[in-house]
Chain A
Amino acid sequence: MRVKNSKREYSVWAALTKGDWATKLSALVMGLGCAMHKQVVKGILIFAVEVAYIFFMVQTGIGCLAQLPSLGENETEKVWNEAKQIYEYTQGDNSLLILLYGVAVLFVTAAFIIFWRIQMRESYYLQRRMEAGMHINNFREDLKSLGHQNLQIPLMTLPMVGILAFTVVPLVFMISMAFTSYSKEGDHLTLFDWVGFANFTRVLNLHGNIGRQFWSVLGWTIIWAVFATFLNYILGMILAMIINRKDTHWKGFWRFCFVLSIAVPQFVSLMIMHIMLQPQGAMNVILQNLGLIDSPLPFLSNAMWARVTVIVINLWVGIPYTMLQVTGILQNIPVELYEAAKMDGAGPATIFRKITLPYMLFVTTPYLITQFTGNINNFNVIYLLSAGGPTEVGDTAGKTDLLVTWLYKLTIDKQYYNIGAVIGIFTFIVLSIVALATYRNTGSYKNEEEFM
């Protein structure tokens, strides 16, 4: 029988049913299959991993998993110590740590299962090669392959560990928090329980306090993202076109002026804007000194004003970015298209609508999608500019709060961790719907051919 090219083409099931005794036994004694098929060092290393995993599970792992369903039950209690004549605190359970360790152990176990499957396939593959009398790599050759055929292993291991430890595990941990009662409400900060979907119904319920705020924040987040993205895009493109015109002088100078404003770190320029827009800030001072207004304008203290202000300030932040992005692409639009349109008597507005915009949309859709999702997640502009305010008494969300800034307030300031986690999950759902829907409907996805 022909030996397949890689171990990937053999299933674990085939190894378990058709393998020889060593391959079958390596389901229990991992690495045995490799060791019996001329790869002794590798077999010993695989076995060492198994021993380490079992040792870890017996030592701590099983204990962590056992507590996961209940998340701990013992409260911290004050106990009178007769001998010392003082109150002592007994060490209660900390649900958060139980959850964190539980999630970590689950990840270790998942990694171990994947490792087990790989070694099963590997040993069956080696068995087949040996039966066919083919060459089997020795350990030195295996190591050498890490610099060539298997270069991805040394190159990707560390970055992957980083992503797992600082992105994936925390994310799963936070998602699981959404199903618990971990919150300052009702004093569930050290000891909490699983509550199923209760938090989700609470957030979606229009009649509750949290639910009412959720829908209003969600609505504003979408309005904000639409305005912030499309106004920036259209106006940035118009600016780029004006600078690109044949008759415009000092092109480099104009570009430099606009680029300078984004070269300044964003948090600095936003904080500057924040203090300029205060009631006694520079903006009101200028307007008053010019005699245009009598009393300061409520840029950030009135709900409607604040909403318009953050969108306008975001134009200040975003237009130069768009200008930078589209300048190169604009120059690539075939000149013949414009010449033909002019011959047919099209005015500048028609040319923009019928040629420039469709062409740009075709080329820059991926950029638009990242901008849109970026705006839904645009923490900096809102938090540094208006801090989500103005906030009505009794509410946790302000009038300009986006889902992400509300999430930040709920978790960091209020310590409503479970509600925060639910908001995070909903943000993700909104983002993935937008990303998928727009991506699938764009020309560049449906038809990867050239424009036209």
Chain B
Amino acid sequence: MKNTKRTVVNIVVHVFLAVMAFVWLLPIFWIILTSFRGEKGSYVNSFFPKTYTFDNYIRLFTDRNVLNFPQMFANTLFIAVCTCIISTFFVLSISFCMSRLRFHFRKTYMNMAMILTLFPGFMSMVAVYYILKALGLSEGSMIRVALILVYSGGSGLGFYIAKGFFDTIPKSIDEAAIIDGATRWQIFTRITMPLSKPIIIYTVLTSFIGPWVDFIFAKVICRANAQYYTVAIGLWNMLQKEYIHSWYTCFAAGAVIISIPIAALFIFMQRYYVEGMAGAVKG
């Protein structure tokens, strides 16, 4: 009697999970199908395509006239690599200072950071644009520099996770090193950093992914300069009225192409996030 009840519950649970997983994967499945769709145009009246083709992917990388996808890809990659280097340095430095050093300004900085993060991020976007313009960074190839600065400029505010990680490294290690004559700079580079692999990888990946998925700042700063568009604006443009009819299936192909590496990085990153949460020195 008890066993049958357990079996029934188990069946119900697994069916429920299967239905849920289906609902969650449906959009992903549909976009992959659409990226291989042979029929032209935007909306069609069947879920499954009638013919399958690779043309959408080929066109995405060869049609450079209207929406130059390879160029956008190169732009975003360049911006992402630079942002990633600067932000990682900023985040790790600030986190180390907040966690390991004790100085007058520390508490003030932490309170200030908490208040600043409560403002809507792009409230200051218009102002940022005019500052960039005053610095001469709003035209031509300087747009790339401008985007890098915008993405990495405020990164010093996001120190909580890395600080939490550094806090778990025992202070006694630092004290022992200081007795042996090490400077704090040496502690930072030779002791803390080698112990912090998961959180470094996590920081690198989050700041690398940032520019790929942001489109608000990119749109305001690039405006009509199509040759500096990032992938996100490009994909968004493909769904606008002017382009949607001829670019709909290419959008699907682009979405798949971008999602595969980002998803892989995300899943990879998640592992290090979990490791980072578990702390540096395991007991």
A interface residues (Cβ-Cβ under 8 A, vs B): 8, 96-97, 100-101, 147-152, 155-156, 158-160, 162-163, 165-171, 173-174, 177, 239, 242-243, 245, 247-249, 254, 257-269, 271-276, 278, 280-282, 285-286, 288-289, 316, 320, 324, 328, 373, 377, 379, 383-384, 403-404, 407-408, 411-412, 417, 420-421, 424, 427-428, 431-432, 435
Contacts and interface: CB of A to CB of B under 8 A. Distances in A.
Interface stretch (B50-58, B165-173, B257-265): B257-265
A167 B115 CA distance: 11
A239 B13 CA distance: 10
Contacts of A424: 119-120, 123
A159 B213 contact: no
Contacts of A147: 183-186
B134 A245 contact: no
A98 to B, nearest CB: 12
Contacts of B14: 248-249
A156 B97 contact: yes
Interface stretch (B24-32, B66-74, B194-202): B24-32
Given A152-B97, A159-B90, A260-B28, A431 B118 contact: yes
Contact of A268 (B116, B127, B149, B259): B259
A245 B13 contact: yes
A248 B13 contact: yes
A259 B120 contact: no
A177 B251 CA distance: 39
A268 B17 contact: no
B97 to A, nearest CB: 5
Nearest to B115: A432
Contacts of A262: 266
Contacts of A160: 156
Contacts of B16: 242
A269 B266 CA distance: 15
B135 to A, nearest CB: 9
14 contacts: A147-B184, A156-B109, A162-B154, A167-B154, A171-B123, A173-B130, A258-B20, A259-B267, A259-B270, A267-B232, A379-B120, A383-B216, A412-B126, A424-B120
A269 B26 CA distance: 11
Interface of B: 6, 9-10, 13-14, 16-17, 20-21, 23-25, 27-28, 30-31, 42-47, 90, 93-94, 96-97, 101, 103-106, 109, 115-116, 118-128, 130-131, 134, 149-150, 152-157, 183-186, 188, 209, 212-213, 215-216, 220, 232, 235-236, 239, 248, 251, 255, 258-259, 262-264, 266-267, 270, 274, 277
A254 B21 contact: yes
Nearest to B119: A428
A347 to B, nearest CB: 13
B263 A263 contact: yes
B24 A151 contact: no
Across chains A and B, which 9 residue pairs bring their CB atoms closest together, nearest first?
A159-B156, A166-B153, A170-B124, A170-B127, A263-B263, A280-B43, A424-B123, A257-B21, A162-B153
A341 to B, nearest CB: 19
Nearest to B21: A257
A320 B24 contact: yes
